[in-house]
Amino acid sequence: MHLMFENLIPNLALLWSGNFKDLNKDQPFVFSKTVWEAIGEATAASRSTMPSSYGAPVPNIATDRSTFSAETWSQWALFVGPVVLNGRFPHKRYHDHFCDLVGLINLCLKFEFSKGDILKIREGFIRWVEKYEAYYYQYVPDRLPCMTLTVHGLLHIADTIERIGPVWAWWSFPIERQCGRLQRHITNKRRPFANLDNYITLAAQLKTAKLIYNITDKDLSLERPVQKKGLELHDEYKGITLHGKVRKGYEKSGSYSAAIKSCLFTRYGLKDKKDQDRFWEHLPTKFEAYKQATIANEDRIRAADYQDPVEEDTDCRDATFVRYSLLRDVYEHRPNREPVFKETEYFGQLKMILATELPARIIPPIIQPTRVVLAIISPRKTTNKTSLGIPYFAEPQTLKATPRAVDMNTVMCLVGRIKDRGQWAIVDRSGDMARAEFL
């Protein structure tokens, strides 16, 4: 993937900023200096609202491009670029062309491929290269430097996948990391090869000893083992671990009581006022409250009410926004019709994580004490605005959103956000955006 992340994407950035090989800058795809600086500022600001699990923070693309690596170029291209470039080109076709490339990259990063996927990759890159020639080369001999070898290389990606397997099985990240290790062990400039030989010999001996005696890296580590603390849940909440229990807990009569009642009454079908009052009265006066939770896909999510606000100019990373899934009545606007439920995805900020034990026989269905874990979420009403289906929400909603309580099992994953021109774009790397990573 270095073909794209170390060559193609940087070359596109040079074309857009008007710095590619001294070509004519009077082109419809070249941004003015102020627009390119605004793109860089939006890129740099995204570092505080993208969770650390999404990868390294992306520097300012307008001023710090020399610090970009293959990893940060991939972060920018797949997550940040489609947002900060949206609506900035004079002609929409350039943004659509870039989004087509992002879609093809995501397709290449799948864990496994069908014949149909390979056909999509092959035909997709053919169309993309043809449009690249028309938009950037423009069939003008003086602009021939735009047609670099890496552009032609895109046409061979599908064939390579077909012959030797998924991209993650043969990409350059492992060899690049190995080169970085070798470089760090060159301490004698007069005899660099002796340093390399010595390091490779010692590394091979250590690896051989590990294989013979069945030793792991953990056994060889001199660091104190890190103990993962937290309340690991089982049964209905298998795969969820709660962290950072709040000593004071949460009073059930607090500001989220209406949301909690709505959730629990709906869950147990309590429509009669007397049943609702009896159920609420028998609940513990305090809920357990937690600051963080780890869900099945290893996302560590933080509760916003117990975190310091994340400022754009700090190195903190916001991990409070989530995607959750609920069953919505398709005919909710027609109360007299038989409900038809459809699974629907929503986004919002996790405000609080609450847990409590429902006493036995509090209502007929509960015959023994039952643990319930709730997520208090401030929802965001989103709309799709890009060809990649990236959801957006308006900033004023942060003050007007009515919190809702949902079961913790409905929280699917952690998401990131990017602020651009008064709106927030949600970056969700699950589902179709799930991709292989080199660790």
Over the stretch 103-132, which tens digit does the pLDDT of each residue have?
A: 999 899 888 889 999 999 999 999 999 999
What gap in Å lies between CA 177 and CA 199, rounded to an integer? 15
- Whole-number pLDDT of residue 436: 58
Alpha helices in 246-333 (DSSP H): 257-267, 273-282
Q: How many CB atoms lie within 10 A of CB 78?
A: 23
> What is the 3-state composition of the chain as percent helix, strand, coil, each rounded to the nearest 5?
45, 20, 35
What gap in Å lies between CA 426 and CA 430, rounded to an integer? 12
3-state SS assignment for residue 95: helix
What gap in Å lies between CA 333 and CA 313, rounded to an integer? 44
- Pull the structure tokens for residue 135: 């938009």
What pLDDT, in 10s, does the model give residues 48-81?
899 988 888 899 999 998 889 888 999 999 999 9
The pairing of strands 286-294 and 250-251 is antiparallel
Q: In 305-428, which ranges are E strands?
A: 321-329, 341-358, 370-380, 383-384, 391-394, 404-407, 411-414, 416-420, 423-427
3-state SS assignment for residue 286: strand
> What percentage of residues in the chain have a pLDDT greater than 70?
93
Whether residue 433 is predicted with pLDDT greater than 70 in this model: the reply is no
Q: Helices 173-184 & 192-213, crossing angle to 10 degrees? A: 120
What gap in Å lies between CA 84 and CA 94, rounded to an integer? 13
**Angle at the Cα of 60 (from 95 to 35), degrees rounded to 5?**
50
- The pLDDT confidence band at residue 296, using thresholds 50, 70 and 90, is confident
What pLDDT, in 10s, does the model give residues 182-223?
888 888 888 899 999 999 999 899 999 999 999 887 777 777
Q: Which amino acid is at 179?
A: C
> What percentage of residues in the chain have a pLDDT greater than 90?
51
